[in-house]
Structures are given as C-alpha cells and as structure tokens.
Structure 1
C-alpha cells in the first residue's frame, strides 16, 4: 500500500510540477524583451527544485527518513554555492541586465572599463566589439558593479570643442568665425541652439567653448569635420592657435 501511495504522490507531484513550470514559462515570456536563455534556465531550476521536494515526499510515504537526505542536499548546495560563487554572481548580474535593460544589443557603451558595441548579452557575460574590432567578453558582475555609460541611448548628442586663440588675436572676429563654421554644417541641429563663448583665459591662449547638438549617429563625423574646418579657416583668417610656451628670464648677477 505504501508503495502505491508513494507512486501516486510521485506521479501527481510530477504533474503539478510540470503545470507550475509551464505557467512560469508562460508568464516570463509575456515580459517584454525577456531573454529565452533566461526563461529556459529558470524553468529548469524551478523544475528540479520542485522535483526534489516531490521525491522526498514520495520517499516519506515509503517510510524512509528524509531528514538525512535534506541535510545532505543542504550541505551539497552550500558547497556548490561556494564553489560557483563567481558564476552565480555573474548569473544574478545577467538577470539584472536582461530585466532592467541598461543597454541592448547594438548600443555603444562604456562598462567595466571597456568601450564598444554590444554584440550579445548572455546569462553569464556580455560580448562587446571595440571600435578597432576587438571582441571582448566581459563578466556580467563586472558590468553591474561599475557605472554604465550608454553612449547612444538618446537620439541626440552634444559636440563639445575647446578652441584656443592667441592673446593678440581679435576675440570678436574669432567668435564670428566659429559661429559661421558651426552654422554652415547642415548636420548641426540649429533649433537646439549653438554656443560659442570665451570659457577660459589660459596661460598661453584665450579658450573658446564650442557646443552644438547633432543626431547621435553624426556625432563623431561632425566633431572631426568641425575640428578640421576650424583649423583651416583660422589659418586663412590669420587667427593663431597657440601652443603652450614659457618665457624664461635669465638674470646675470654681478
């Protein structure tokens, strides 16, 4: 009779476990952007944990003392947890990245000291491609334990340039030239405003700050083009771009 009851407990328990895991999978897949790898992983974890409970219940119906089994399982779980501490940390971080989405595949980010385009986000690590086409695999825990800069998360970015002129140059002329250069670039979003202003009286130069908004994909091209155009135009207009220098005075002592 006890064998029959144990078999019934096992079969019914297994059926209930399967229904629970199917319900869990259904709920997880309704979450927008939920990674399929994470769904499968959680499904297996929940399934095996519940099946252990069912097996212990079936053994109990057979009159077998399950306390020792639970103690062994607890000790084994602790040992495995300590051995896989780093991997479990990466897994937890991977779950956080997938759920909270600080970035997505294709975004350019700076995370864990690495700047690159996100190629893949998995449970344990994130694969990034650097601007010079290196493939870097970053542990997820290193990403979540550091600040994350999502460079192209927003549709627009501001180009910031610092341009120095000599103290003998005409400030108003230089300012007008800089304004003209920025306004002439069709990629600059004029409606968001352009800033050209004296920001610092430095040791060797009068520094202007030049700020202009552009669409994010145009950022680097506009920055490089403006820098080149400013140098060429300043040369044509006779405006100098000084380099750091020092005046050394030598005094002869009688």
Structure 2
C-alpha cells in the first residue's frame, strides 16, 4: 500500500494529465453523439422539405449518424494517446475478419444501397417483397420496415428483398380487378353476361377506359366460368372487389342463375 501511495505521489502530473485526457475523450464521445443526432435530424428535416421519400431519409440519416460517431470515436482515441493510423489499420483487419463472418449483414447493407438507388418502392406504397405484403414504412441499413393490413410491423432483411421478385401494387394509378364467376351448366349464358354487365354498369367507381371485359373463360367439371375484368383506381381496388362479389351473387340469385357446388356424376352398370 505504501508503494502505491508513493507511486501516486511521484506521478501526480502524469495521472492528472491522463485523467484530463480521459475526461476530454468522454466529452468528445458525448458531443460527437449529440452532433451526429443533430446533423441527422437537420438533414432529415431538410430532405422532408424537398419532398424526399421517407424511406430514403431514414436510410441516409442512419449512414450519416454512423459516420460522424465513428469519427468522434477516432478523435477520442487520439486524445488518450492511441495512434489512430495504427488503430485504423487494426480496425481494417478486424473489419475484414468480421466482414467474412457477417457476410449476411454486409449483403443487407449492400442491398439497402441498391434499394435506395433504384427505388423499386417508396414509403407509403403497398408492396409484396421477400414473401411479405405490406405498406412500406422505412428503409434502414439492414432491413426494410413494412406494416401489414392487420397492423403488424415486419422487418424484412434487405438482402431477402433484392434476391426475390418485388411486386409494387401502388406504383400505377390504375389496376384491373380479376373476378372468376362460375355458373351452372343449365344457365343461359347470354342472360348471365347481361346480368354481369348490369352489375358493372351500376358501379360508379369503375373506369370507362380501359373498358371492362366479360367472357366465358372455361368449361369446368361442374361449372361454366366467366371472367369479369373491370379497371379501377388503385386506391379503390379492394372496395370495388368486395362490393362486386356481393352484388354479383345477389344479382345471380335474383335472376335464378345458379352457382353450383362441385359435383360428380356416378353411373352404375348392372351386369348382364
């Protein structure tokens, strides 16, 4: 104990110097984090005023915040006497080793960059990506956040998105509603088409151009199938789909046109 006290008394200036450097390093880290958050926030607000997509804002803000904080860490290490050039070299070697072991994470980052560059979807659009359907909320460094129609939040890895087909349901202003209506073989096909035409004519949300299409599509084992294909605004799609299904059923019942259940004819042959 006496030796420790003696060493402290003999090295007071050195201890004081390192204590000050350590405190300054901590202050640099704290200030660096505050600056990173502030710059990212200001950059986000600036891009919002310019009408930049929300997904792009979240991605670029995360990148800028990370870069500034890494710079603050290097400054703090330099303050306590760590050679940053050597540290960067060590960090590079460690980064290579970590990169090899975290190839999936790096591919997510690269995929995030591709998503931001090529913009297959924007925030607020309804998409099917990586086997998940939902409204795009934001694109982060490692994943894309979707909100499903039942209000679940799904985090889809970016690499999973770019490695599979992307379906964007909101990019175009119009969509075609595809209905398949099966009627009985006893039904009058001309009358059935007239009934379907009357249901479509009563729906004000359908577009006149392109015109709708009603045709006999297939002769199945127990039904004659009609295709009914009107066009609507993308925002009206599901409302029109559900309403047409209801109104078609009501109209067919009213006109005595049956919608058959699956059935099978069995023929019995008596032996001679």
TM-score normalised to structure 2 length: 0.70
Question: The residue matched to 1:35 in structure 2 has which SS?
Answer: helix
Match of 2:130 in 1: 112
- 1:192 aligned counterpart, secondary structure: coil
Q: Give me the TM-score of the superposition, normalised by structure 1.
A: 0.75
Deviation sequence 1:198-222 (CA, Å, 0-9, x none):
1111111111110100011110111
- Where 2:100 maps in the other structure, the secondary structure is helix
Match of residue 161, structure 1, among 166, 176, 179: 179
2:243 is aligned to 225
1:129 aligned residue: 147
* Counterpart position of 1:141: 159
| 1:249 match | 267
- Indicate conservation of the 8 Å contact 1:38/1:95, yes or no: no
User: CA shift at 1:97, angstroms?
Assistant: 1.0
Cα deviation digits, residues 8-35 of structure 1 (max 9, x gap): xxxxxxxxxxxxxxxxxx9xx89x6553
Give the CA deviation at 1:250. 2.4
Conserved 8 A contact 1:188-1:212: yes
Distance 2:70 2:148 in 1: 40
Distance 2:88 2:151 in 1: 51
**Alignment-derived partner of residue 77 in structure 1:** 95
**Structure 2: runs of 5+ lacking an equivalent:** 1-42, 75-84
Secondary structure of the residue aligned to 2:230 is strand
Stretch moving more, 93-102 or 77-86: 77-86
For the residue of structure 2 that corresponds to 1:229, the secondary structure is helix
Structure 1 gaps, min length 5: 1-25, 53-65
Residue pair 1:87, 1:124 contacting (<8 A) in 2 also: yes
1:89 alignment partner in structure 2 = 107
Q: Which residue of 2 aligns with 1:216?
A: 234
Q: 1:253 to 1:182 in 2, by over 3 A?
A: same
| Structure 2: distance between partners of 1:100 and 1:253 | 72
Q: Please list every run of at least 4 consecutive aligned residues from structure 1 whose deviation after the TM superposition is greater than 2 angstroms.
A: 32-49, 68-77, 250-254
Q: 1:155 to 1:69 in 2, by over 3 A?
A: closer
Partner of 1:176: 194
The yes-or-no answer on 1:41 pairing with 2:70 is: no
